[in-house]
Structure 1
Amino acid sequence: MQRIKQIDKRIERIKRDLEQIDEMRPGSISVQYRCAETKSYPYHQLNWVIGAKKQSEYVSRKNLKTLTRQTENYKTFKALCAEWVELGIERSKLSIKLERERQKSAS
């Protein structure tokens, strides 16, 4: 029962954290070079996959900070959602186990 309360509290914190997430975009930003051999003329590129389709986009220096923040927000979003799912599964298993124990003690 104590663990269920802990799970519920953590899920509520996750919900609050999710509400705080601003703009987001999937993907990662990498440095590419116009001349790969000499590694000269570097530029940034945003790469992401939606479904089975890979996409990329040039990132200007002006937008680098914004896009970096947005990709970090997306990673945070994904991590929080994954944790929420794991906690939900654990809570479900504990609730079922607790109900079985109640039924056994009632018989």
Structure 2
Amino acid sequence: MPSPTLNTIETRIRRLQRRLANVGNMRPGTLGVQYRHPAEKKGAFYQISYTRKGRSRSEYVRPENLPAVRREIAAYHRFNSLVDRLLDLSIQASRIRYGARGAHLVTHPART
């Protein structure tokens, strides 16, 4: 399969940028169920746990807010996925641009 052209990659980048602009409200974390009486699994309530700026947090989530919090968590995952793809394409475009100008790029294997 031939390598994509710079124009093709830049078109994909613009498409991803538009999608990023439409992600909406988001928040990191995982949603879990806790129990006030764990042995009997009674008194269930929802809690969101996340780490931000090196600090772990857990917050109670009211039942009526569950759908919105789930959407925000999904949007956060979508955002991260889009950013990851955008970075891959940006690196690829950069390599094509620099290669076309005769610059020498050296890629080093990841250190283990």
Note the C-alpha offset of 1:51: 1.6
TM-score (norm 2): 0.81
Alignment partner of 2:102: what SS? Answer: helix
| C-alpha separation in 2, matches of 1:81 and 1:68 | 20
Q: Flag structure 2 segments of 5+ consecutive residues without an equivalent.
A: 104-112
Superposed structure 1 runs of 4+ greater than 3 Å apart: none
Select 2:73's aligned residue among 71, 75, 78: 71
Note the C-alpha offset of 1:41: 1.9
The answer on 1:40 being equivalent to 2:42 is: yes
Note the C-alpha offset of 1:70: 0.8
Equivalences for 1:16-35 in 2 at 5 Å?
16-35=18-37
Note the C-alpha offset of 1:2: 4.2
Alignment RMSD (CA, Å): 1.7
Aligned residues: 101
Q: Flag structure 1 segments of 5+ consecutive residues without an equivalent.
A: 102-107
TM-score (norm 1): 0.84
| C-alpha separation in 2, matches of 1:32 and 1:61 | 13
| C-alpha separation in 1, matches of 2:40 and 2:74 | 30
What percent of counterpart residues are identical? 29
Note the C-alpha offset of 1:30: 1.2
Task: Identify the range of structure 1 (87-96 vs 56-65) with the bigger mean alpha-carbon deviation.
Answer: 87-96
Deviation digits for residues 54-80 of structure 1 (CA, Å, limit 9, x no counterpart): 011001110000011011111111111
